[in-house]
Chain A
Amino acid sequence: MTAADPPVSVSSRKWTNPFAGIWRRPLTAAALAVVLTVTVAVILAPLLAPHPPLAQDLLHARGGPSASHPLGTDELGRDVLSRLLYGGRPALLGVGVAVSVYIVLGMSLGILAGYLRGWTDRVIVGLMDVMLSVPAVIIMLAVLAIFSQSNVAAMLTLGFLSAAGLARIIRSSCIALREELFVDAARVSGLSAARIMARHIFPGLVGLLLVQMCLFSGIALMVQTGLGFLGLATPPPAPSWGGMVGEASQVMEQSPSLLLISGGLIGLMSVAFGLLGDGLRDLTQDRRQGTGSRSQRPVPVAVAKDTAEASDTPPDAGVLAVRDYSIAFATPQGPRTVVDSVSFTVNTGEIFGLVGESGSGKTVTGLSLLGLLAPNGTVTGGSAWLAGRRISGLPERDLQRIRGSEIALVSQEPMVALDPNFTIGSQLSEVVRRTGAVSGGKDAVGQRVRELLSSVHLRDPDDIARRHPHELSGGMLQRVAIAMALAGSPKVLIADEPTTALDVTVQAGILDLLRSLRDERGMAIILITHDLGVVADSCDRAIVMEQGRIVEEGSVEDIFYRPQHPYTKKLIESTPSIARTEGRVA
């Protein structure tokens, strides 16, 4: 070790400021400024107000803005600005009281329940259920019926009854955080429960707490001014924001501006609370994801104009041909090319491997052929041809007609690839009706669904058709997904890592199925995979991609036995094999 220690921070009590980075979000910063300015002005009302709030000047009643009355006067000639400044006091006092109770009580209950679990949790959850079902406002009215005009008593009640809502949120995020793998890792590292709370759980809750505080402030302000409007919380003639709206509504026809000013101020504060809450939530999320501000817009991708007309003549070989094909994604740092001038040809009746590691562009290439790129992705150059017809750059409506009937997709995660809300039968029927060109009614469709399910070697098609996706295993669901892809008898099937999520014994069955479908139907299958074992097992030809470029192309025998590119060699060497004899550790 050299004398100069590198600047490594190890302190365990480093405070993460929840407001850090707020200046990159002008709207949030503005909202914070509004809340602070109004609050300070209201607190300093005796110093700032140009007139006493109750001083009447009937000669200047309902006067417009003037030097001595910047916001004019009301129907009794009282200065509106002064009344607004003083009128904010009951409103903000009420909000302060309610929010304090809400935070203290909600946080204590939530953390107790979420961290201790067991009986404490059950008792608190029961209590929360009851508190959440009590209509808070009506209890406030009952309180006001007893403690007449007591703003503080009413708002204490509101904070108390609403605290259950906060407790529920804190509890569930506490529980979610406890389940995080990094909390397990901290336990294994030998950290005490208190330290785990302080390092991993509490910092995650601070942002959440601030967000809820802002949102609840908005609610409390609405309730308090509502009470004021009904004349329940502040006895007239003392000014209050809500009361001023009430007074203005009496003279709405004569001086509509009074209503705009008084209500507008409440609205402004309330909107500011809302914006502040949303902004802080986004800031917290950015931090948790460890990224900087994400408010920047992605820079859109420019499509090279000349490529659009570049090649209008279809290449004569293969059912699917891709020529000088490039894809880019819009990112805040500018367009990022993920596929760079790739060309390949897939023939009828062959299983064609698209091989590469993560980030190689293999999946993006496959999805773009179906026109299913994420919204920020664009084909920036080159062309793709399906059976002599150009499919790159087709409008969405034409693509819809091709999808399912000319070219189809089987995706990686069978457990989430089917709609959980509908039975297998109803989903397949919809696709059959749309693409299958089945003449006849319901019976014909049902018959076709049964045929499809049998063709993927599912034993009891009628039973499968009646089930929802969650009732089937991953292997069965992948077979159903293949059946769905077959419904329109496509010429090309794109299988995107179809076995990666499956156990190895199930994988073998799915690969067998894909091979037999190719043999029976003469389809072309594009098999996208990272697994060289799968390539060796199922593919006839393949391309190897690295960072958006094709580095190797050929028959599988060429690729495995005579690799040209060093990356291909490295890939083959790195792939563990059960048949290999030498190992790393004896």
Chain B
Amino acid sequence: MFPIIFRRLALAVPLLVIVSAITSLLESFVPGDPARTILGINATQEQYDALRATLHLDKPFAEQYWLYLRDILHGDFGSSLFSGESVLALIGQRLPVTLILVIGATVLSTLVGVLLGVYSATRGRVSRRLFDIVSLLGSALPNFWLALMLVSLFAIRFPIFPATGYTPFAQSPGQWAAGLVLPVIALSIGGVALISKITRDAMLSTLGLDYIRTLRASGVRPASIVWKHALRSCGLPVATAIGITMIAYIPGTILVENIFTLPGLGTTVVDATNQHDLPVVQGVAITFTMLVIAINLLVDVLYSLLNPKVRVA
């Protein structure tokens, strides 16, 4: 188990270097002069030189990148070219919303996906056919469009939930939760389709295995065969599907946050992209990369817990 974790962590370092390098490299293509853009035309030469120095714009590219990397390792992600706000502070403030969306959607899609998958694997041909169609639509229809349909249905036609906006938890837990219902559902639709399909396929092939027949022949109860023995064997593929889903939810939040105007990293990065605010884009890119690394690590740990051969050895 530890070698796997070690390998993941060893991969994390070059990955962060590469992601920051790509974004920094892109920065050198920026048309015009970022310092000029930020300060406007009324700034003095001293102000201008000072800003160029803080952004390391007075140095050659390689040195710029090295200084940027050093700053990152010191926890300094620079500051927004527009608001001047510290990028780290901005991320710290916006990250929780994104995390809640990702975690909420993962929990929801895991529960619904596994239940649906097991159900359709143990029922007859008709339900299997129906399931195929629903799962295809869930995975193929664009989730921003499904999100809009949810809004038009449950916020406009039947105003049950708020269409947009975010209420901080401290202000009103009830409204906070109500505001998250539609975004979490919208985000989780593709994941439900994937997890249920993988669960169903894994379940079907497991139920055809010899040891399931042995258990049936020994008189073990069907409920125990399905939920204890067969589902346990589906652990690895299902864990993989959950990992893939969770990683897909990270960029998925970009659209969902923008549709529901939630103050998360997704809205932040789209605004920054429109404003050519590269330090913010860079900061979010690195945060997302670290999230992906963390999720992969989590899946690896889950893997070794689920595989008896690894656990014993």
* Interface residue ranges, A against B (CB under 8 Å): 129-130, 133-139, 141-148, 218, 221-222, 225-226, 229-232, 242, 245, 249, 252-253, 256, 259, 263, 266-267, 270-271, 273-275, 278, 370, 372, 400-405, 408-409, 411-413, 416-422, 427, 430-431, 434-435, 468, 470-471, 481, 484-485, 487-488
Number of interface residues of B (CB under 8 A): 70
Q: How far is the CA of A118 from the CA of B229 in the complex (A)?
A: 39
The total of Cβ contacts below 8 Å across the A-B interface reads 215
In contact, B142 and A267 (Cβ under 8 angstroms):
yes
CB distance from A267 to the nearest CB of B (A): 4
Confirm or deny: B156 has a beta carbon within 8 angstroms of a beta carbon on chain A.
Answer: yes
Task: Say yes or no for B217: interface residue by CB 8 A criterion.
Answer: yes
Contact (Cβ within 8 A) A144 B15: no
Question: Which of A143, A226, A417 sits near B142, CB closer than 8 Å?
Answer: A226
Report yes or no: B218 in contact with A404, Cβ–Cβ below 8 A: yes
Q: How far is the CA of A285 from the CA of B281 in the complex (A)?
A: 44
Q: Which residues of chain B are near A135, meaning CB under 8 Å?
A: 247, 250-251, 285, 288-289, 292
With an 8 A cutoff between CB atoms, is B270 at the interface? yes
A176 to B283, CA, bound (A): 41
A231 CA / B275 CA spacing, docked (Å): 13
Known pairs A135-B251, A139-B22; A404 contacts B141 (CB<8 A): no
Task: Assess the B219–A488 pair: CB atoms within 8 A.
Answer: yes
Contacts of A129 in B (CB 8 A): 11
Cross-interface CB contact of A370 among B148, B217, B274, cutoff 8 Å: B217
Which residue of chain A lies nearest to B252 when distances are taken between CB atoms in the complex?
A137
- Indicate if the CB atoms of B18 and A267 lie closer than 8 Å: no
Residues facing A in B140-184 (CB within 8 A) are: 140-145, 148-149, 151-152, 156
- In the complex, A481 Cα to B210 Cα: how many Å? 12
- For B270, list chain A residues within 8 Å (CB): 141, 230, 232
Contact status of A146 and B26, CB under 8 A, knowing A252-B151, A252-B156:
yes
Using A226-B144, A259-B152, A487-B218 as known contacts, list a sample of 13 further A-B pairs with CB atoms less than 8 Å apart, ordered by residue number in A: A135-B285, A137-B251, A139-B23, A145-B276, A218-B140, A259-B145, A263-B145, A271-B137, A372-B213, A403-B216, A431-B219, A434-B219, A468-B308
Query: In the complex, are the beta carbons of B217 and A408 less than 8 A apart?
Result: yes
Instruction: Tell me if B52 is interfacial: C-beta within 8 Å of chain A.
Output: no
**Bound form: Cα–Cα A481–B213 in Å:** 12
Residues from chain B with Cβ under 8 Å of A242 in the complex: 144
Known contacts: A416-B210, A430-B220. The answer to whether A145 contacts B26 by CB under 8 A is yes
Does residue B66 face the partner (Cβ distance < 8 Å to A)?
no
A422 touches B229 (CB 8 A): yes
- Taken residue by residue from 180 to 224, chain B's Cβ proximity to chain A (1 for < 8 Å, 0 otherwise) reads as 000000000000000000000000000001110111111111101
Residues of chain A lying within 8 A (CB to CB) of residue B86? none
B217 touches A138 (CB 8 A): no
Roughly how many angstroms separate A256 CA and B29 CA in the complex, as a whole number? 42
Q: How far is the CB of A191 from chain B (nearest CB, A)?
A: 34
Q: Which residues of B lie under 8 Å from residue A404 when comparing CB positions?
A: 217-220
Q: Does B111 contact A (CB under 8 A)?
A: no
Q: Which residue of A lies closest to B163 (CB)?
A: A252
- Interface mask (B275-313 → A, CB under 8 Å = 1, otherwise 0): 011100110110011001100100000000000110010
Q: Is the CB of A400 within 8 A of B222?
A: yes
A262–B251 alpha-carbon span in the complex (Å): 23
Q: How far is the CA of A129 from the CA of B12 in the complex (A)?
A: 10
CB distance from A316 to the nearest CB of B (A): 27
| Known pairs A226-B142, A245-B144, A271-B137; A138 contacts B219 (CB<8 A) | no
Chain B residues lying within 8 Å of A134, measured Cβ to Cβ, are 15, 18-19, 22, 289, 292
Q: Does B254 contact A (CB under 8 A)?
A: yes
Residue in chain B with minimal CB distance to A144? B273
Contacts of B103 in A (CB 8 A): none
Whether B11 contacts A133 by the Cβ 8 Å rule is yes
Whether the pair A409, B217 counts as a contact (CB closer than 8 A) is: yes
Residue of A with least CB distance to B225: A419
Kindly list chain A residues whose C-beta atoms are within 8 Å of the C-beta of B143.
Answer: 222
Q: Are B145 and A245 in contact (CB under 8 A)?
A: yes
Chain B residues whose C-beta falls within 8 Å of the C-beta of A275 in the assembled complex: 136
Given contacts A139-B285, A146-B26, A270-B142, contact A400 B210 (CB under 8 A): no
Would B312 and A137 count as touching, CB distance under 8 A?
no
Residues of A within 8 Å of B292, CB to CB, are 133-135
- Residues of chain A lying within 8 A (CB to CB) of residue B152: 252-253, 256, 259
Interchain nearest-CB distance for B210 vs A (Å): 5
Per the bound structure, the CA–CA distance linking A434 and B216 in Å amounts to 11
A474-B212 Cα distance, complex, nearest whole Å: 18
Residue B64 at the A interface, CB < 8 A? no
18 interchain pairs (CB within 8 A)?
A: A133-B11, A134-B292, A135-B289, A138-B288, A142-B23, A145-B278, A147-B29, A222-B142, A229-B144, A263-B141, A263-B148, A273-B140, A403-B218, A420-B309, A468-B309, A470-B309, A488-B218, A488-B219
Contact partner of B221 among A136, A226, A252, A434, CB < 8 A? A434
A249 and B148 contact, Cβ closer than 8 Å, known pairs A146-B276, A267-B140, A421-B232: yes
B121 close to chain A: CB less than 8 A: no
B214 close to A484 (CB less than 8 A): yes
Residue among B144, B235, B259 having the largest count of chain A Cβ atoms under 10 Å: B144
The list of the 7 closest CB pairs from A to B, nearest first, reads A404-B219, A137-B251, A263-B145, A409-B217, A404-B218, A403-B219, A274-B140
Q: Are B148 and A259 in contact (CB under 8 A)?
A: yes
| Chain B residues near A487 (CB-CB < 8 A) | 218
Is B258 among interface residues, defined by CB-CB distance under 8 A? yes
Which one of B11, B151, B221, B269 lies within 8 Å of A138 (CB-CB)? B269
What residues on B are CB-neighbors of A148 within 8 Å? 276
